[in-house]
Amino acid sequence: MLVVEKMNTFYGDAHVLFDVSLEIREGEVVALLGRNGAGKTTTIRSIMGLTPPRTGRVIFKGENIATLPPYVIANRGVGFVPDNRRIFPTLTVRQNLELARKQGDGGKNGWTLEGIYEHFPALKEIEDRKGEVLSGGEQQMLTIARTLMGNPDLVLLDEPTEGLAPIMVMEVMKIIKELKEKGETILLVEQNSTLALGISQRAYILENGHVVYSGPAEDLIRNDEVKQKYLGI
């Protein structure tokens, strides 16, 4: 589904990603781990075209999307769930969702507003509330649901449990597990590697902008040495 080849990304003159390569196959959940500042968010932003890579290729469904503008990449089927949620504050919950609907076919799971409300009943109850008054947990639900409304073939999830109360963390993990069971393809960035590895098939670790480890999630769960070295646990 997605093959990233030797991607190099800069913020101005600052070289942040160095020859990052990774792969996600259809239906997989892949964890992208690493310490704060390792380059996880930048990797997602590069794939999305928000901070385009200076060199390297991003092959999505067989085509290089590395030079396309973000809205074209989104319409090709990449869904972006940002790390700080970025709900539109002046729109209602329902408007936030409807805005993200795209033209064309319903994608693999054919998400509709009704389908989203069935899956996230809490959002239906607050559908007329403005984004600015939502709690952190509600915003996190909404930002995931909003991206699903676009029926992406690949979902890039950046730290979905960050800053949430423990009970909401479990709720969000449950949602991601359900998406996995529905067959969504997901790149999951997480600080909490134990949680992420629990639902991923494979994992990559970034360190200072380099991919320093890749392998099956089960192997990494048992590899205390690597976890100690790169994740500090």
Does position 107 interact with another protein (CB under 8 A)? The reply is: no
Q: How many angstroms separate the CA atoms of 117 and 111, rounded?
A: 10
For residue 28, what are its two tokens? 């997989």
Q: How many angstroms separate the CA atoms of 55 and 149, rounded?
A: 31
Q: How many angstroms separate the CA atoms of 221 and 65, rounded?
A: 33
Does position 38 interact with ligand ADP (CB under 6 A)? The reply is: yes
Does position 86 interact with ligand ADP (CB under 6 A)? The reply is: no
Does position 167 interact with ligand ADP (CB under 6 A)? The reply is: no
CB atoms closer than 10 angstroms to residue 123: 22
In angstroms, give the least distance from the CB of 160 to another protein. 16
Does position 106 interact with another protein (CB under 8 A)? The reply is: no
In angstroms, give the least distance from the CB of 69 to another protein. 7
Does position 146 interact with another protein (CB under 8 A)? The reply is: yes
Of these, 100, 172, 173, 199, which contacts another protein (CB under 8 A)?
100
Q: How many angstroms separate the CA atoms of 54 and 5, rounded?
A: 12
Within the chain, residue ranges assigned H as helices are 40-48, 70-76, 93-99, 113-119, 121-125, 136-149, 166-181, 193-199, 217-222, 224-226
Binding mask 2-21 for ligand ADP (x = CB under 6 A): ---------x--x-x-----
Does position 90 interact with another protein (CB under 8 A)? The reply is: yes
Per DSSP, what are the bridge partners of residue 64? 59
Interface with ligand ADP: number of residues (CB under 6 A): 11
CA dihedral 141, 218, 206, 67 (to 10 degrees): -60
Task: HSE, CB side, 13 Å, CA atoms: give it for residue 222.
Answer: 4
Of these, 19, 26, 63, 98, which contacts another protein (CB under 8 A)?
98
Does position 86 interact with another protein (CB under 8 A)? The reply is: yes
**14 touches which of ligand ADP, Mg ion, another protein, none (CB within 5 to 8 A by kind)?**
ligand ADP
* Sheet strand arrangement including 2-11: 14-24, 2-11, 55-60, 63-64
CA 71, chain centre distance (Å): 16
Binding mask 49-78 for another protein (x = CB under 8 A): -x------------------xxx--xx---
Does position 37 interact with another protein (CB under 8 A)? The reply is: no
Q: Which residues are near another protein by CB under 8 A?
A: 48, 50, 69-71, 74-75, 80, 82, 86, 88-91, 95-96, 98-100, 102, 146-147, 150
Q: Which residues are near ligand ADP by CB under 6 A?
A: 11, 14, 16, 34, 36-42
Q: Which residues are near Mg ion by CB under 5 A?
A: 41
